[in-house]
Amino acid sequence: MTYESTYSEEMRRSIEKVEETRDRRLKEAFPRISPEEKDKLLKEWHPDYRPEGKRPLKIGPSKGLIVPHEVADLIEAYPLIDPSNIDLSKIDYDVDILIIGGGGAGASAALWANNSGIPADRILIATKLRFGDANTKMAQGGIQAADRPNDSPILHFIDVMGGGHYANKPELVKTLVENAPFIIKWLEDLGVMFDKDEEGNMIELSGGGTCRKRLHACKDYTGLEIMRVLMDEVLNRGIRVVEFSPAVELLTEPDTGRVTGAVLWNLETKEYRIARGKAVILTTGGFGRLHIQNFPTTNHYGATMDGVVMAYRVGARLRDLDATQYHPTGAAYPEQIVGLLVTEKVRGLGAQLVNADGEQFIYPLEPRDVVAAAIIRECYGRNKGVITPTGMRGVWLDTPMIEMIHGEGTIKKSLAAIYRMFSRFGIDPTKEPVLVFPTLHYMNGGVEINVNAQVLNGRGEPILGFFAAGEVCGGVHGKNRLMGNSLLEVTVFGRIAGISAAKYVQNVEPGKLSLKHVNRYVEMLKEAKIPPTRKSPILLPEYRGEKVLSRAISLFAI
Amino acid sequence: MYFPGCTLKTTALNYEESALAVARKMGIDLIELDRWNCCGAVLNLAIDSVIHHIGAVRDLVRAQEMGRKLNDNRLVTLCSMCYNVLKRVNELLKIDSEKLKTINEFMDEEENYECGIEVLHFIEVVRDLIGFEKVRELTVKPLNGLKVAPFYGCTLLRPKEIGIDNPENPTTLENLLEAIGAEAIKFPHRIKCCSAYNVVYDKKIAVDRALEIRKAANRWGANVIATTCPLCQYNLTLPSRRPSIPVVYFTELMAYAFGIENVLNPEVRKVISSLLGEDVK
Amino acid sequence: MSNEEKKIKMVKIYIMGKMYEVPEGLTIMKAMEYAGYKFIRGCGCRGGFCGACATVYRIGNDYKLYTGLACQTTVQEGMYLVQIPFVPAEKPKYDIEKLRPTASTVLSIFPEITRCVACNTCTKSCPQNLEVMDAIQSLIRGNLIKAAELSFDCIACGICSIRCPAEIVHYQVFQLVRRLYGKYLSKKAKHLEERINEILQGKYKEELEKLTKMSIEELKKLYESREIET
């Protein structure tokens, strides 16, 4: 069967130029960017550096912190519930450890709380959608750990700090890198199928901004493989998971400010339930579905920053929320998959980024923010991008190069997910390059924690009973996360949160429950003259057609 | 082409190894089917339930595809159960064109099966293609002194339409044993059923039947039983009262006789060695 | 983009039998949202990885049944569809530490596997185009490694299990097989153990402590002088 391209004619003409330059480019190494040029590039072209896109927060422990408008809109917003309608005397779930969020961090926390001696039936994971519906599942390329002889946690540390523009919290980075090899071993022992050679050595690749090959992968389904193994183990142990029950507000002890539980809301029955936990671990993930600056996103359906909103209301300090990560290579064509992730592993295996004329314009494995800015500059500054029939702009990611470098069949084997995603729409990445453009990917900042995964308040002190791990936290990655450190963060800090929380609950009684902090927050909002029209958390993004929404009405009160 | 069947790949690996080695010695190339699935064993012969034939037919289709490339339409099996199923499904479809049409339409992801495959049991190949004369020639260590009770296994002989020999008075195994220098003990239970899958539903039946067969072999003077089917091998050696008597595959005896006993499972090799009165190496 | 009103071509699709006109070129998921459905079930990652949006459909009067992921399948004129957001199957609990990596282990937990009649319906239903039946068959004959490899890209959407005449829950079986492979059958990475020992013995402790206290200038120097492994 002959392959028929589904690209438009204009795009095909550009591809021909790409094919012409390919042989020459195979031997060509594009020079790495100098620190000065890097600063200029980011300032001029990275979406984060557009001051019009952000504003300072008006209220709360991190008043004055610059954040994107979409984030501020949710933080400067009123609660969904009216505390006077919530009966806190009837407790529906009474546990030692309440985990809010069922992704990689939540599952890791649950397992390690159990490993630390908390019985399975005293742990509860409350999740908004299904258990495992999280950004963890969609991570493709790999998880970092410095476990080869020519590598070390020292180098890993330096990579993370440099990639994060030195804005990272150093002790968190130290925790991340020195726990990394242990986490890999833990996952290996759980049965995760890492790519290995015949002797059992891990096959490790380079990622953007890494000075050594230390990305461990499971083909290009790394996140899926890790998440499903963790899920399997959590369920094997009988740890309870309640699905389709997002938390809409945390509960606190009025005098101490200790976090003591959460109000859960059943998405299907609209019933609210009170969950009390001696310790509460927040693992709610990121904010891709807020579509910062109108970018499409790689994130899952529920990534609406609920955790940051709720944590801020109990006094958590936020940091680095001005740093939004745009993954440089989101799919840009066809229209049906715009924004979906094309893993960095593709570049790790040798594919180059090429403009409409078939020329390279940036070293493919610079840190993500640099590559993203470079692509935006190429498309909108230098106008050397490809334009699709729907007006979307992008550059080529020259995937056929991978087959030439590593042999025929490499893409089908090691990049099965990408191959599948494009094949479904008639594009064969082994034969033709794919079109990419930056897409909203990761929340670099978030709730601030210490090395014990305790959430810190505005004064830098731990909030009693409150822990957090994963994308919801800030400080680990500074202003820009490296590939493979997110899967690492959720497991390292998920584990630490589980262990810390388990230790904490040994010596405490269940706390008192109140929504007083919500009342106080509402007062602050009123004082700052925030209009009551905005409410948060939003739980799910609104994608219904405008035509329908304009005629949709609610006929019943509940 | 060679169809292994599930048991040959798990609990009867020794049967496969000895057979492949013996085949090579006789100049036969047994090439395993690229993709194959369980033939379904006896359950696939429920004639009113077409879906149960699907597994076996899919294997025949695979053989049809591979057979085109190799220019050979013969599918050989070692397991008598698999032989029985594949051959009977094949014959059924040759005469029931309605059923063939239904199955071909259901299996729309495969090419149509055209009933051109010939299903053979390995022992037929030895007997008809190679011939016992050749077997005699290749025998370097005649198994003198070995008194072998051949146990055919009912699925190799029945039903009559697909049996490889006279179901009441077969001679194939006896002739083979003679060709490799052993003494064939023609005991009456040689054509009986080992009780097959009764071992799953009512183990006592299998244990009792196996004991009966072993007692008979013993009474008739045999010191080893040779079989053609892994299920028979399993049933006949179910732990129970004495007498116990070793049960080996006919290909394992052939391998020993051909002087390639190094391919044999060490246990089996020891058993045959000591029965022959040889020093165990 | 031009300012003229664009005439968008519409197609008729039938969501659970009810006709809606939606713009051509949308995925089933976006088409359902266009029609006014707000997903609670049946929507997960929206990117083809989580199996939440498994959809079964026919086209017009054709008898053929198709499956696909709503987030990855474009609507067609005459598409008659329904989502299958959940497949009933409680997960059996097992202690992976106590299991042996053999086919009989898997069969003892999921004995219904032997009911497989090799009808291949599972393979034909898989939206990931996996050779599901071959994976089950590999398992039946003891080849766990092949079963793990063939089933690796499984996203546990469950369509195979809903359609299986033998009532096998393939994705649960495969999850166990893959864990057994990853834990017991795949060789352990020695270099990993060595590095962990080094860390436990404190080899990097001092230097890491030093690094956490360094100024940004010092860190910059280290960062910019790194040797990059190619």
pLDDT digit string (tens) for C200-216?
Answer: 999 999 999 999 999 99
CA distance B281 to chain C (A): 32
Residue A449: strand pairing partners: A455
DSSP A30-48: PPPPPHHHHHHHHHHH-GG
Give, in order, the Cα–Cα distances in Å from A6 to each of A10, A334, A424. Answer: 11, 9, 11
Question: What HEC string does A365-408 produce?
Answer: CCCHHHHHHHHHHHHHHCCCCEECCCCCEEEEECCHHHHHHHCC
CB A436 within 8 A of CB A331: yes
Chain C residue nearest residue B12, CA to CA: C141
Say which of B4, B6, B40 has its CB closest to residue C117: B40
Cβ neighbours for A540, distance < 8 A, ≥ 6 positions apart: A289, A301, A302, A304, C38, C39, C40
Position C5 scores a pLDDT of: 45
Min CA distance, B258 vs chain C (Å)?
30
Report the top-level CATH class of B131-275: alpha beta
Which residues of chain C does B52 touch, with a Cβ-Cβ cutoff of 8 Å? 117
Band (B279; pLDDT cuts 50, 70, 90): low
Mean pLDDT of C76-102: 96
Q: C73: which chain A residues are within 8 Å (Cβ-Cβ)?
A: 424
Residue A409's beta-bridge partner residues?
none
Residues C2-31: tens digit of each pLDDT:
444 457 899 999 999 999 999 998 999 999
- Tell me which chain C residue has its CA closest to the CA of residue A543: C33
Residue type at position C62? D
Amino acid sitting at position C193: E
Domains of chain C as residue ranges with CATH: 10-83 (3.10.20.740), 96-185 (1.10.1060.10), 190-224 (no CATH)
Rounded to whole angstroms, the Cα distance separating B13 from A430 reads: 40
Instruction: Yes or no: say if A507 and A190 are a contact pair by the CB < 8 Å rule.
Output: no
User: Domains, chain A, ranges and CATH?
Assistant: 9-30+328-435 (3.90.700.10), 78-323+444-516 (3.50.50.60)
C117: which chain B residues are within 8 Å (Cβ-Cβ)? Answer: 40, 44, 51-52, 54-55
Please determine, for residue B109, whether its predicted confidence score (pLDDT) is greater than 90. no
What are the C-alpha distances in Å from A178 to residues B39, B120, B245, C209? 53, 63, 62, 11
Give CA–CA dist A502/A97, Å, rounded.
Answer: 7
Of A133, A185, A300, the CB nearest to C196: A185
Biggest CA-to-CA distance, chain C: 73
In 3D, which of B53, B261, B259, B42 has the Cα closest to residue B158? B42
Q: Which residues in C lie closer than 8 A to residue B55 (C-beta atoms)?
A: 116-119
The contact set of C with B (CB < 8 A) is 103, 116-120, 123-124, 133-134, 137, 140-143, 165
Report how far Cα A499 is from the mean position of its chain's Cα atoms. 23
CA distance C90 to A204: 36
Q: How far is A149 from chain C (nearest CA, A)?
A: 7
Give the one of A35, A147, A191 whose C-beta lies nearest to C178's C-beta: A191
Touching, A vs B (3+ Cβ pairs under 8 A)? no
* Contact between chain A and chain C (3 or more Cβ pairs less than 8 Å apart): yes
Query: Chain A residue with minimal CA distance to C212?
Result: A170
The closest CB to that of A153, out of C33, C189, C204, belongs to C204
| Matching CATH number, B2-122, of 1.10.260.40, 1.20.1050.140, 1.10.357.10, 1.10.760.10 | 1.20.1050.140
Q: Number of A to C CB contacts under 8 A, please give it.
A: 241
Sequence-distant (6+) residues with CB within 8 A of C214 are A170, C222
DSSP A243-297: -S--EEEEEE-TTT--EEEEEEE-TTT--EEEEEEEEEEE-----GGG-GGG--B
Which ranges of C6-143 does DSSP label H, i.e. alpha helix?
A: 28-34, 103-109, 121-125, 132-140
Chains linked to A by 3 or more Cβ pairs within 8 Å: C
Q: Where exactly does CATH 3.40.50.11810 map onto chain B?
A: 131-275
Tokens of A360: 């390279």
B78 contacts on C by Cβ (under 8 Å): none
- CB contacts of B37 in chain C (<8 Å) are 118, 133-134, 137
Cβ-based burial of A237 (10 A; exposed 0-12, middle 13-18, buried ≥19): middle
Question: Is C10 an 8 Å CB contact of chain A?
Answer: no
CA distance C170 to chain A (A): 14
A199 CB contacts (<8 Å, ≥6 apart)? Answer: C187, C190
pLDDT in tens, B170-181: 999 999 999 999
Q: How many CB atoms within 10 Å of residue A213?
A: 18
Interface confidence (ipTM) of the complex: 0.95
Q: Which two tokens stand for residue A95?
A: 């546990």
Residue C97 tokens read as: 């530490």
CA distance A226 to A193: 9
Give the one of C118, C143, C165 whose C-beta lies nearest to B58's C-beta.
Answer: C118
Q: Let me know the angle formed at the C-alpha of A95 by A93 and A97, rounded to the nearest 5 degrees.
A: 125
Long-range contacts of B102-105 (CB under 8 A, 24+ apart): B102/B50, B103/B50, B103/B53, B103/B54, B103/B57
Which positions in chain A touch C176 (Cβ < 8 Å)? 232
Residues of chain B with CATH 1.20.1050.140: 2-122
Nearest chain C alpha carbon to A178: C199
Q: What is the pLDDT along chain A (558 residues), one digit of tens a residue?
A: 578 888 999 999 999 999 999 999 999 999 999 989 999 999 999 998 889 999 999 999 999 999 999 999 999 999 999 999 999 999 999 999 999 999 999 999 999 999 999 999 999 999 999 999 999 999 988 999 999 999 999 999 999 999 999 999 999 999 999 999 999 999 999 999 999 999 999 999 988 889 999 999 999 899 999 999 999 999 999 999 999 999 999 999 999 999 999 999 999 999 999 999 999 999 999 999 999 999 999 999 999 999 999 999 999 999 999 999 999 999 999 999 999 999 988 998 999 999 999 999 999 999 888 999 999 999 999 999 999 988 899 999 999 999 999 999 999 998 988 999 999 999 999 999 999 999 999 999 999 999 999 999 999 999 999 999 999 999 999 999 999 999 999 999 999 999 999 999 999 999 999 999 999 999 999 999 999 999 999 999 999 999 999 999 989 887
Q: Is B276 exposed, middle or buried (0-12, 13-18, 19+ CB in 10 A)?
A: middle
Cβ distance of C142 and B10 shorter than 8 Å: yes
User: Whole-angstrom Cα distance, residue A338 to residue A330?
Assistant: 7
* pLDDT computed for residue C199 by the predictor: 95
Residues of A marked as catalytic: 327, 347
Residue A45, min C-alpha distance to chain C (Å): 22
Record: contact A191-C211, CB cut-off 8 A:
no
One-letter amino acid at A216 equals H
Alpha-carbon distance B167 to A117, whole Å? 67
Are residues C189 and A188, on separate chains, in Cβ contact within 8 Å? yes
- Residue B42: pLDDT over 80: no
**Whole-angstrom distance, CA of residue B278 vs CA of residue C3:** 97
Averaged pLDDT for residues C41-68: 95
CB contact under 8 A, C182 and A162: no
- Say yes or no for a CB contact (<8 Å) between B10 and C118: no
A545 residue type, one letter:
G
End-to-end CA distance of chain C: 43
Q: Identify the closest residue of chain A to C26 by CA–CA distance.
A: A336
Best residue in A158, A239, A363 to probe C by mutation, most C CBs within 10 Å?
A158
Name which of C41, C183, C214 is nearest A189 (Cβ-Cβ): C183
Cβ neighbours of C165 in B, within 8 Å: 51
pLDDT tens-digit map of C135-184:
999 998 889 999 999 999 999 999 999 999 999 999 999 999 999 999 99
8 Å CB contact of B9 and C141: yes
Angle in degrees, CA C63, C64, C66, rounded to 5: 140
A543:C38 CB<8 A: yes
Gap between the Cα atoms of B35 and C118, Å rounded: 12
Chains C and B touch (3+ CB pairs under 8 A): yes
Region for residue A210 given its phi and psi (left: phi exceeds 0; alpha: psi -120 to 50; beta: otherwise): beta
Tokens of C131: 């050779």
> Which residue has better confidence, B151 or B50?
B151
C38 touches chain A (CB under 8 A): yes
Give the nearest chain C residue to A298 (CA atoms): C47
| Rounded Cα–Cα distance for residues C133 and A542 (Å) | 39
In angstroms, what separates the C-alpha of C50 from chain A's closest C-alpha? 7
Min Cα separation B10/chain C (Å): 6
Is the pLDDT reported for residue C1 higher than 60? Answer: no
SS3 content of chain A, % helix, strand, coil (to 5): 35, 20, 45
Task: State whether residue C153 sits within 8 Å of chain A by CB.
Answer: yes
Largest CA distance in chain B: 61
Q: Please indicate if any CB of chain C lies within 8 Å of the CB of A51.
A: no
Residues in a beta bridge with A386: A394
pLDDT band at B10; cut points 50, 70, 90: confident
Enter the tokens of residue A403: 């087959």
Which pLDDT belongs to residue C8? Answer: 82
Where do runs of H (alpha helix) occur along B10-124? 13-25, 54-70, 80-95, 97-106, 122-124
pTM of the model: 0.90
Contacts with A336 from chain C: Cβ below 8 Å: 25-27, 30, 72, 74
- CB-nearest to B55 from C103, C118, C123 is C118
Distance from CA of A240 to the nearest CA of C (A): 13
Phi, psi of C101 (to 5 degrees): -80, 65
Pairing of strands A462-468, A54-56: unpaired
